[in-house]
Structure 1
Amino acid sequence: MIIRDKVIKYGSNINTDVIIPARYLNTVKEDELAEHCFEDLDKDFKQKALSRKIIVAGDNFGCGSSREHAPLAIKASGIKLIVAKTFARIFFRNAVNTGLLVVLSREAADNIDDGDELEVDFDGGLIKDLTTGKVFKINPIPEFIQEIVHNGGYINYTKKKLGLS
């Protein structure tokens, strides 16, 4: 699997309350969550997400309270991938379960800038910054995680495996 797109860059300690504020947790409608994603951090996020589908961030992305709404809001905004130095473990798992790709790369996060165009090869384990020419190694994404994401999340993946879809 290869994703090629442009970057929205954020710093460290982006918590779930910033991703989707608690005042919007009364809905699970993905379009409503997308409408308010990152609104307290980046008023231009919605516009940026129309033409950039990769978030690159620092340490501890998705820290804070455990809420499945956070990766759902990001995914519903059109984001395909988050590359970060580190993730809060519960956010990482919730992201995979909702079908949002997440990749750890300290080196990439340190060297990629806002607006750069990336090509991410999950099978080959490479991130290529097409803007600067730099290449970063990542651990290949296991096939079963790629399958979960391809099926739109863990529930759909499980239904398919059980022959229920």
Structure 2
Amino acid sequence: MSTCVRGLIFVVDDNIDTDQIIPAEYLTLVPSKPDEYEKLGSYAMIGLPDRYGKFIAADEMKTRYPIIIAGENFGCGSSREHAPIALGAAGVKAVIAQSYARIFFRNCVSTGELYPWESGERLCDRFVTGQEVTVDFDKNQIINHTLDQTYSLKSLGEIKPVIDAGGIFAYARQTGMISAR
């Protein structure tokens, strides 16, 4: 895994729920099938209100925003693990939120799709969609190149190697907790 992610950001505020991340009508797609995984990604964030703009451009399958900046309670709503999977399939590498719904955070780790960073500050009020940033995994910080500002992030701690491995089952096989067969 790279020690940083650089790219454009997509900014949302509080209480972005799993139905906004991936509406229930798309849960029939099976993420273990490559073509359906890609299709699932093309619907990521399609349930957001129009005021946020388009997360994925028309006629595209992937987003141009590998990093999402959010407020409080990101991923609230249901326990659907399709939400972090859809974001990962869309090309998201990291979400930086002020706080997460607990089940969404756990699903990010379990699936290994993306890194759920927490910020101590309300970055969604300071950043704007389209700004270029770098998330530095070694220094636990985000650098906003557009504003020339750096902010601290809470450490990923023990979850980082699990996500690096590709999720809980891949990690368990990698560390010998379960048979690699």
Q: CA RMSD in A?
A: 1.9
Separation of aligned partners in 2, 1:84 and 1:65: 18
Hey, which bits of structure 1, 4+ residues long, moved more than 4 A?
none
Is residue 128 of structure 2 the alignment partner of residue 121 of structure 1? Answer: no
Where 1:150 maps in the other structure, the secondary structure is helix
Aligned mates of 1:141, 1:44 — CA distance in 2 = 29
2:107 maps to 1:94: yes
Deviation readout 1:43-83 (Å, 9 max, x if unpaired): 72223954220001111110001110100000110000001
Taking only the aligned residue pairs, the percentage that are identical comes to 38
The separation in 1 between residues aligned to 2:161 and 2:93, in whole angstroms, is: 14
Kept in 1: contact 2:143–2:150 (CA 8 A): yes
| Structure 2 gap segments, 5+ residues each | 32-36
Would you say the 8 A contact 2:141–2:151 is kept in 1? yes
* C-alpha distance 17-116 of structure 1, shift in aligned 2 (>3 A): same
- Mean Cα deviation higher: 17-26 or 68-77: 17-26
Partners of 2:153 and 2:54 lie apart in 1 by 29
SS in 2 for 1:70: helix
Mapped partners of 2:172, 2:138: distance in 1: 22
1:46 match: secondary structure? coil
Q: How many residues align?
A: 164
Equivalent residue for 1:146?
160
- Give the structure 2 partner of residue 22 of structure 1: 24
Structure 1 unaligned blocks of 5 or more = none
Deviation at 1:101, TM superposition (A): 0.2
Q: Which of 29, 34, 37 does residue 44 from structure 2 map onto?
A: 37
Cα shift at 1:146: 2.1
Distance in 2 (alpha carbons) for counterparts of 1:24 and 1:152: 23
* Higher share in helix: 1
TM-score (ref. length: structure 2): 0.83
